Amino acid sequence: MPVGRDATPSLSKRSSPHATPRRAWPAWIAAVVLALVTVVPTPAQAQASTTWSRNLYVSGAMVYQDPYFTACTAASVMTMLNTIAGRGTGGGGFGWTPYRVRNSADPAEARDLTSILAFERSHDTLRSTSAGSDAHGWRNALNFYGWGSAAMTDPARMVYQDRSYGSFGAAIKAGVKAIARFGMPVGVLGWAGGHAQILTGYVVVGEDPAVSDAFAVQSVYLSDPLRRDRILNLRVSIKSLRTGNLHYRFQAYRETDSPYRDMFTTGPLPGSVAASRGASEWYRHWVLVVPVRSGLPNPDPSPTPDPAADPTPPADPTPIADPAADPTPPADPTPIADPTPDPAADPTPPADPTPIADPAADPTPAPAESASPAT
């Protein structure tokens, strides 16, 4: 090779008066420097090529919906809460313990699959004649069964929120960041909104998604509560998730049977209706149910009194008597009669706005397997 001959000139060249070995050294040095620049990456290049991965999947956490083919959101609630319990990532106020019963024989059991589905149906924005539940019912059940009624009714204490995104890429990055930053799984409105699935992990290249947005998603880990689809902790490439098999392709939401407004976030829009009826939260958007905080926020601490403050108020100054003043106090004014109650007023207090469904009632129709189970 030319570099080798220049670097180690022969004896005849060293003895020849016409040899000029000194001219070869700069070229040799330049070649070595070029090789080092090519082989050794800069810090920016090294950071850009870093692979980050995480998977929250817990063996035994999965709850399948079969044979209740409209209970995919309820099965996903149980699976997600089981995963959080197994990982110990629920933070303050988390009260769920692992449970996998689909239809308990105990009428007092309120957290089996059929009871959770009944709860979702009484707290969603879905049309009453539709089957299954929607993203609001899914979110409300996660918050209620995981962290209690305050996490469901107070937006400032909600651990999970349903979110819609204008693009596939924005939704997937948001799901990855939620997993990385809160250590809890993400719900996916799959089948264009007709089915519930679960993201538990990711593989990305770039910077750490736990602290940065500068990363590219390579693949995700997906599970599906429909047993027959055999999608359990499946690593799906970003290309397949975008354009692959319809069983796990993530598409924009196209369900149009959630015509009501969310009762707990005072949302200005209905859940999802056709564009011809106006704007809605989810229609033609990519929809996820994501964790937004690490458990219930701590209550504000009570103010601590200042020990240096003097709690004793100053004495009133001694009044100066007015000799002309009449010392006799005036008679009490005539009292105002209490207002007469309005006989038309309804003294009955309003009903609890967040009733819990009767766990003894089984709202699930007789299971009938269909090719496209709705949530």
Number of DSSP helices (H) and strands (E) in the chain, helices first? 10, 9
- Exposed / middle / buried, residue 26 (Cβ in 10 Å: 0-12, 13-18, 19+): exposed
d(CA 361, CA 110): 10
**Per this entry, what is the length of the chain?**
375
The per-residue pLDDT for 274 is 97
27: amino acid identity, one letter = A
- The whole-model pTM stands at 0.70
Q: pLDDT-based confidence at 7, cuts 50/70/90?
A: very low
Q: pLDDT-based confidence at 368, cuts 50/70/90?
A: very low
Residues 307-329 pLDDT 10s: 554 444 444 444 434 434 443 43
Handedness of CA 61, 63, 172, 90 (dihedral sign): negative
Most confident of 19-28, 159-168, 306-315, 329-338: 159-168
58: amino acid identity, one letter = V
The per-residue pLDDT for 49 is 82
Q: Does residue 58 carry a pLDDT above 60?
A: yes
Q: pLDDT-based confidence at 4, cuts 50/70/90?
A: very low
| Domain range summary for the chain, segments of one domain joined by + | 51-291
How far is CA 261 from each of CA 113, 124, 272, 288, 374, rounded to the nearest angstrom?
25, 9, 9, 18, 20
The per-residue pLDDT for 258 is 97
Structural tokens at position 269: 């829009």
Q: Does residue 347 carry a pLDDT above 80?
A: no
